[in-house]
Amino acid sequence: MNSNSKTRFFNSSGLVVLLLLAAVNVTAADSVPTNSQKTAHEHDHGTWIERRTVATIDSDGVQRVKVIGGEYFYNPNHIVVKVNKPVELIVKKYEGYIPHNLVAKAPEAGIEFNVDLKDAVQAIKFTPTRTGKFPIYCDKGLLWFKTHREKGMEGLIEVVE
């Protein structure tokens, strides 16, 4: 194979892979119900339904909340914690092959992380330093398709006195 043939082969192969990835994302997006549809299990794909939880403070003084995320949802997606008390989010990925993460960008409030969700449990630790409502979301996406946040994979951390 000469140099020109190799270049054409690899360019064609790259295009095929790109088209396959796009097809997978379109297929997955097509299976996500719209806001007017309901699903039969504990979460709704692409539909934002508030699942609020107030963190309890364990005997060691840490506020702990279990969070599961995947298929364009977080459960819970509205987490209430107390200011100036350490928080530990125990996070895990819901079944499925599509990658997801949990992002918060509020360094002014002591809340900043970007963690890829995995099948194994992980701990996200922070101590909120001011009250308010701070968004959490998944920033994953593929090419020009909607991001997971745009598909409804978002929520908030509410910090109270």
The answer to whether the CB of 128 falls within 8 A of the CB of 158 is no
Using a 10 angstrom Cβ sphere, with 0-12 exposed, 13-18 middle and 19 or more buried, the burial of residue 144 is exposed
- pLDDT per residue rounded down to tens, the chain (161 residues): 666 655 554 455 554 544 444 444 443 443 333 333 333 344 455 556 889 999 999 999 999 999 999 999 999 999 999 999 999 999 999 999 999 999 999 999 999 999 999 999 999 999 999 999 999 999 999 889 999 999 999 999 999 99
Buried/exposed code over 22-41 (b: 16+ C-beta within 10 A; e: otherwise) = eeebeebeeebeeeeeeeee
Instruction: Judge if pTM exceeds 0.85.
Output: no
Domains and CATH numbers, the chain: 52-160 (2.60.40.420)
Beta-bridge mates of residue 65: 89
